[in-house]
Amino acid sequence: MTAGLLEIRARRHVLDAVVDLDGSATVTVLFGPSGAGKTTLLRCLAGLEPLDGGSIDFAGTRWNDGTRIVVPARHRSIGYLFQDHALFPHLDVAANVAFGLRALPRAERPGRVERALSAAHAGHLGSRPVPQLSGGEAQRVALARALAPHPAMLLLDEPLSALDSTTRASLRTELRQILVEQRIPTIVVTHDRTEALALGDRLVVLVDGRVRQVGTPVEVFDRPADEVVAGVVGVETAVTGTVLAARDGVVQVDVSGRSLSAALADEESPAAGSPVVVCIRAEDVSLQSRRSDAVTSQRNQLDVTVTRVTVEGALVRVDLDAGFRLSSYVTRPAREDLGIVEGARLVATFKGQAVHLVPR
């Protein structure tokens, strides 16, 4: 697969991004609030829209020069997954997947179609007419169609947003597996944290057209570079953990030697031993003194040490060391009652429902 350096410079969004699409970081997530121009950027990358200035270079070739499209969409060798699939309704599934294979000798096309369909876990759909596909099936077929010509780069525009929540959850993990197997440099645009955590090897945070932070999803979510990024990703603990056991909708997860309980909503329970990203939002974590014998119904109780105290408006944000980084919001009176200062030793409690697991 061609890997390379993607350089984007655009005037409208003052965008300066260099995305290194090497083999080690396969999936790059462009993350930002809705309306930040993420889709527009993806369309410019695909050659569907001109830039208003600046340039796009891919692997040493200039694709866009100012407002001029130097290499048109059909010569960019990219796979593009549209939000609403954009399958050709007059062709069946196999013909849709074969649509991009005109350069391939006729005899080789059926085999390529079959492999692309099975890579996208849609092997059984071959002869189905497109209008009869469900949302999840259509998305698999669209992915197979994008994969079939062996593109140099895959662009996914909010790939799961058009699906219902159950399909989205199951396809999310699967999509990650497919993308890793294919080893095609991929750029995913999303405003969904779970999607970003589940799919990305690297996260690029875009705010107002500027790249604010680049890092692994866990790094960015766990340690936002500045307040702007924190505002976009939310104050959240995001750490990697391993599933220990799952029973009756409750999952035990090991995080840095601490065992946490997570209550599953309606998602499928992850298998023991599988890696997950554990997310805990600061507003769900409460603090109490270690001496307190108040009985709590909360599932998770961790001994923590205060590492930093920051006043944020009416609330006080308390950063904690629990073997991993954890944050909590408390009120100012609570801060005084509990004597929260750096180095103070407390107990952090939070419900199982507050622990959000994202399978990887």
Q: Which residues bind another protein (CB under 8 A)?
A: 46-48, 72-80, 82, 84, 86-90, 99-100, 102-103, 145, 149
Rounding to the nearest 10 degrees, give the CA dihedral for residues 57, 79, 101, 105.
Answer: 60
Q: Report the alpha-carbon angle 22-23-26, nearest 5.
A: 90
* Distance in Å, CB of 43 to another protein, minimum: 8
C-beta of 103 vs 314, nearer to another protein: 103
* Distance in Å, CB of 171 to another protein, minimum: 20
C-beta of 74 vs 247, nearer to another protein: 74
CA 191/CA 37 separation, integer angstroms: 11
* Distance in Å, CB of 90 to another protein, minimum: 5
What does the DSSP 8-state code read for residue 245?
E
Phi-psi region of 24 (alpha: psi -120 to 50; beta: other; left: phi over 0): alpha
C-beta of 71 vs 334, nearer to another protein: 71
Closest CA to 328 of 345, 314, 315: 315
Rg (CA), the chain: 23
CA distances from 16 to 159, 183, 213 (A): 24, 25, 12
CA 125/CA 133 separation, integer angstroms: 9
Are 39 and 157 a contacting pair, CB within 8 Å?
yes
How crowded is residue 275: how many other Cβ atoms within 10 Å of its Cβ?
13
* Distance in Å, CB of 95 to another protein, minimum: 10
* Distance in Å, CB of 84 to another protein, minimum: 7
* Distance in Å, CB of 20 to another protein, minimum: 23
Establish how many alpha carbons lie within 13 A of residue 274's alpha carbon, considering only the half-sphere containing its beta carbon. 13
C-beta of 72 vs 111, nearer to another protein: 72
Identify the residue whose tokens are 């159950």: 166
C-beta of 148 vs 204, nearer to another protein: 148
C-beta of 88 vs 308, nearer to another protein: 88
C-beta of 11 vs 90, nearer to another protein: 90
* Distance in Å, CB of 46 to another protein, minimum: 6
CA distances from 41 to 52, 159, 187, 192 (A): 11, 15, 11, 17
* Angle (deg, nearest 10), helices 165-182 and 109-119: 120
C-beta of 142 vs 207, nearer to another protein: 142
* Distance in Å, CB of 110 to another protein, minimum: 17
Six token digits for residue 291: 């001496």
